[in-house]
Amino acid sequence: MFDKVYQIVKTIPRGKVMTYGQIAKLIGTRDTRKIGWALHANKSNDVPCHRVVNKDGRLAPNYAFGGADEQKLRLLSEGIKIKNTIYVDLKKYLHV
């Protein structure tokens, strides 16, 4: 299952995000925690885990590569604006 998650996350274009729920639906589960576990277990820089946010656009407080601050920096470097210090505007940046 983790490999399926990684394959999907690799398709998220630079400057866009997907939610845990979107990814869960694509792999055929309703358990979004499994998506978080997969992303947290990832050790490859080839999988842009920073492009995955929760259903409200909130950054991950336990982002595996250095916490929410690192996730925020990576998203900002791709031109994604962060509002209220921890949210991505899903209307603008969601990859569908």
Catalytic residue at 49? yes
The one catalytic residue in 5, 12, 39, 49 is 49
How far apart, in whole angstroms, are the C-alpha atoms of residue 40 and residue 82? Answer: 21
Token pair belonging to 3: 């490999």
Active site residues: 49
